[in-house]
């Protein structure tokens, strides 16, 4: 998909957050992305859980890469990822029970998020531990940001509120974090329903593409004028 | 010869990974189990207290749940019998409304010994957000209209659109209809099986 052998730390960040963003460019992990993004807190929580999974799985894949035999690497990755997700799900059940109940089936389903297996295979299994951990952090953050943004958009358009139920993630001090639009806004129901997820994700993708095209056009213009300048010089 | 050696090595590596991961999971499981069980109890206790306030009884409701099969609807109901001075005073009964708008709706129905409702709460549903989910107390007070109702009162057990005495929700009739029916079935179940429910 792209050249990630460089190990350049800055390019890891740019890749994860923008150039190769798992949700907006690679379009991986759409199932949880569309299903859980019906509120900011749900989106943020699942994003954080996915990020934690990605970091831990990248680190353990990278740490064990010398013992892995290429024929059995995929079963081992799956085993590792399943073990990590199960642990996270148990820990969430024990310490953030309300959140666990509201995310429901989507915590165990983190296992099936293709981003995690893709990063293990394409990146972590060929890199040293620190770049692998950073890659997990950057990719996870990229995914979590899109999930949170989509959740915030859907919650705001659909219900007219933002950050409802923040206490499920941040504890009792967050119970009054909810921001509400004026009561006259009744909420556009379709935004919380599944079609709203597709429509708003499409708008996010379109926005990213517009920005990217503008940037490329500017870049090309700059390059053109640079070559023109050089030729004129010659 | 070389091939066999490779196959052995593969299974060794895979087995080692499986063993390590299994050990880690066992450790985390036994570490989190007390907290998880505690959370479940608390959650159940919270739900039971909502349909049947603590001052009505002096036993721990979730201690000995009973299960009975409803002879009419065929569903298996879980019962939490409340006692005061060892006399049964009320029961909290699970109910299932299979005819909601999307999927099953599960309810907890609290019924006092005189046959009146002490409270009804929805414990699980997947109704349309913004329309059907007003059955949650967090979203609207609709579910409170069951409090104090009973079979002996002159109440017509249907939503207003069907000529009954219960409000429907704006934009959602199917969901309230399903719940009114399920609560009515539960009351009938309580009425006809009271002896069995309250027998120790």
Q: pTM of the entire structure?
A: 0.75
| pLDDT score recorded for residue B1 | 56
* Reported confidence tier of residue A2, pLDDT bands at 50, 70, 90: very low
φ, ψ at A184 (rounded to 5°): -70, -15
Q: Which of A76, A98, A104, A178 has the most B C-beta neighbours within 10 Å, making it the best mutation to test the interface with B?
A: A76
| pLDDT score recorded for residue A14 | 82
pLDDT at A3 over 50: no
pLDDT tens for chain B, 200 residues long, are 566 776 788 888 889 999 999 999 999 999 999 999 898 888 888 888 888 887 778 888 777 788 888 888 888 898 898 888 888 889 999 999 998 888 889 999 999 988 899 999 998 888 876 677 788 887 788 999 999 888 888 788 888 888 888 888 877 889 999 999 999 999 999 999 888 888 87
Which chain B residues contact residue A97 at CB under 8 A?
A: 36, 39, 42-43
Q: Which of A38, A65, A81, A93 has the most B C-beta neighbours within 10 Å, making it the best mutation to test the interface with B?
A: A93
Mean pLDDT, rounded, of chain A: 83
| pLDDT score recorded for residue A4 | 45
Q: Residue A83 is nearest to which of B14, B25, B43, comparing CB atoms? A: B25
Q: Under an 8 A CB cutoff, do B130 and A68 touch?
A: no
A70-126 confidence digits (pLDDT tens): 888 888 999 999 999 999 999 988 988 888 887 777 788 888 888 888 888 888 888
State the nearest Cα–Cα gap between B164 and chain A, in angstroms.
29
Q: Under an 8 A CB cutoff, do A189 and B131 touch?
A: yes
State the nearest Cα–Cα gap between A12 and chain B, in angstroms.
28
| pLDDT score recorded for residue B198 | 86
pLDDT at A7 over 60: no
Give the C-alpha separation, A48 to A43, whole Å.
Answer: 9
φ, ψ at A20 (rounded to 5°): -130, 30
| pLDDT score recorded for residue B2 | 62
Question: The complex's ipTM?
Answer: 0.71
Q: Give the pLDDT mean for A145-149.
A: 92
* Reported confidence tier of residue A5, pLDDT bands at 50, 70, 90: very low
- Which tops the pLDDT comparison, A28 or A140? A140
Domain ranges for chain A: 9-222
Give the C-alpha separation, A171 to A184, whole Å.
Answer: 30
| pLDDT score recorded for residue A18 | 82
In chain A, what percentage of residues exceed pLDDT 90?
Answer: 24
Q: At CB < 8 Å, which residues of chain A contact B?
A: 38, 64, 67-69, 71-72, 75-76, 79-80, 82-83, 86-87, 90-91, 93-95, 97, 101, 158-159, 187, 189, 192-193
Which chain A residues contact residue B128 at CB under 8 A?
A: 189, 193
Residue with tokens 């019962």: B79
Q: Give the pLDDT mean for A42-61.
A: 91
Residue B69: partners with Cβ closer than 8 Å, 6 or more residues away = B75, B76, B77
* Reported confidence tier of residue A234, pLDDT bands at 50, 70, 90: low
| pLDDT score recorded for residue B108 | 92
Q: Under an 8 A CB cutoff, do A79 and B17 touch?
A: yes
């Amino acid at each position: 998909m792209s050249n990630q052998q460089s190990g350049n730390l800055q390019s890891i960040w740019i890749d994860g957050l923008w150039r190769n963003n798992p949700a907006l460019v690679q379009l991986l992990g759409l199932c949880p992305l569309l299903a859980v993004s019906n509120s900011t807190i749900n989106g943020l929580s699942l994003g954080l859980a996915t990020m934690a999974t990605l970091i831990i799985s990248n680190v353990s894949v990278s740490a064990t890469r010398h013992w892995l035999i290429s024929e059995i690497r995929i079963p081992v990755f799956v085993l590792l990822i399943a073990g990590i997700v199960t642990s996270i799900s148990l820990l969430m059940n024990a310490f953030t029970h309300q959140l666990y109940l509201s995310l429901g089936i989507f915590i165990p389903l983190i296992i099936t998020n293709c981003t995690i297996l893709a990063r293990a295979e394409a990146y972590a299994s060929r890199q040293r531990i620190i770049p692998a951990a950073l890659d997990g952090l950057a990719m996870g953050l990229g995914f979590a940001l899109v999930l949170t943004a989509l959740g915030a958009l859907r919650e705001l358009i659909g219900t007219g509120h933002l950050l409802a139920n923040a206490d499920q993630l941040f504890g009792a001090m967050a119970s009054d974090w909810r921001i509400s639009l004026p009561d006259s806004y009744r909420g556009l129901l379709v935004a919380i329903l599944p079609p709203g997820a597709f429509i708003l994700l499409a708008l996010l993708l379109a926005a990213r593409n517009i920005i990217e095209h503008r940037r490329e056009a500017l870049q090309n213009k700059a390059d053109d004028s640079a070559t023109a300048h050089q030729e004129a010089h010659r | 010869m070389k091939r066999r050696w490779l196959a052995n090595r593969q299974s060794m590596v895979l087995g080692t990974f499986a063993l390590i991961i299994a050990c880690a999971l066992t450790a985390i499981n036994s570490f989190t189990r007390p907290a998880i069980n505690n959370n479940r109890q608390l959650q159940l206790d919270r739900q039971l207290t909502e349909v049947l306030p603590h001052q009505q009884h002096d036993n721990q409701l979730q201690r000995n749940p009973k299960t009975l099969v409803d002879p009419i609807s065929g569903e298996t109901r879980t019962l939490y019998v409340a006692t005061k001075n060892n006399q049964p005073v009320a029961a909290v009964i699970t109910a299932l409304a299979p005819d909601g708008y999307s999927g099953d709706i599960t309810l907890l129905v609290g019924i006092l010994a005189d046959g009146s409702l002490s409270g009804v709460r929805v414990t699980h549903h997947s109704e349309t957000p913004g329309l059907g989910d007003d059955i949650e107390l967090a979203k609207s007070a609709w579910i409170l209209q069951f409090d104090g109702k009973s079979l002996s009162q002159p109440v017509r057990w249907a939503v207003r659109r069907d000529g009954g005495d219960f409000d429907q929700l704006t934009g959602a009739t199917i969901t309230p209809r399903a719940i009114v029916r399920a609560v009515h079935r539960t009351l009938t179940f309580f009425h006809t099986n009271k002896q069995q429910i309250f027998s120790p």
